[in-house]
Amino acid sequence: MLRVAAVALCLLALTACGPRVSGTARPLKVTDVERELVTSYFTALNEAGAQGVAEQRELLAETQHPDFRDAGCEPPGGTIRVEPTLSTLRLDPSWTPPGEDEHPRGVVLVIAVTLTVVRDGAEVGSQIGSQHIVLLNGKAYGFAPCAG
C-alpha cells in the first residue's frame, strides 16, 4: 500500500511540473528587421566603395565587430563590391571567427556573397563565398575581408 501511494505521489508531482504548451516547434528564422539590417550593411559598404578606397576602409573599420577590431586585418588593395544572395541568409549560432574560441556577441548570420575587387575602375578579381554578419544592439557588424 505504501509503495502504491509513493508511485501515485511521484506521478502527481511529475504531471504538476507545469502547463502543457500547445504548438509546434519550428527552427528560428531571420526576421524582416534583421534582413533589412544586413541589406543596409551591404548597401553602405558598396556605396562607400564607389566613393573610394579611403571611404570604404573607414566604413570597414567602423563596422568591424567591436570585439574583433584589433584583428590586424588588411583589406585587399582597391575597393570591394559585395553582392549578397539574400535568399541564402540564415542564422549561424555555432560559428566562431577563424582562430577564435568564443562565439561573437550578438546574432550571427551567414550569407552567400560574390565579392569583387576593383582597382582604378577595373575588376581584378571575383570570388563567391560566405560572409558572416553579426547583429548587435541594432547594428550590423562584419569581419573585414583580408588580403590573401
DSSP state letters, 58-105: HHHHHTB-GGGTTS---PPSSEEEEEEEEEEEEE-TT---TT-SSPPS
104 lies in some domain: yes
| pLDDT tens for each residue of 64-92 | 999 887 666 666 778 999 999 999 999 99
- The CA-CA-CA angle for residues 40, 65, 51, to 5°, reads 45
46 lies in some domain: yes
Domain CATH code at residue 131: 3.10.450
25 lies in some domain: no
8 lies in some domain: no
| pLDDT tens for each residue of 91-137 | 999 999 888 888 899 999 999 999 999 998 899 999 999 999 999 99
21 lies in some domain: no
Give 20's pLDDT tier (boundaries 50, 70, 90).
low
5 lies in some domain: no
Tell me what the pLDDT averaged over the chain comes to: 83
- The CA-CA-CA angle for residues 146, 49, 148, to 5°, reads 15
- Sign of the CA dihedral running 57, 102, 86, 129: positive
Number of domains comprising the chain: 1
- Which residues have C-beta within 8 Å of that of residue 60, sequence separation ≥ 6? 45, 75, 142, 144
98 lies in some domain: yes
Q: Which residue segment(s) compose the domain that 61 sits in?
A: 30-143
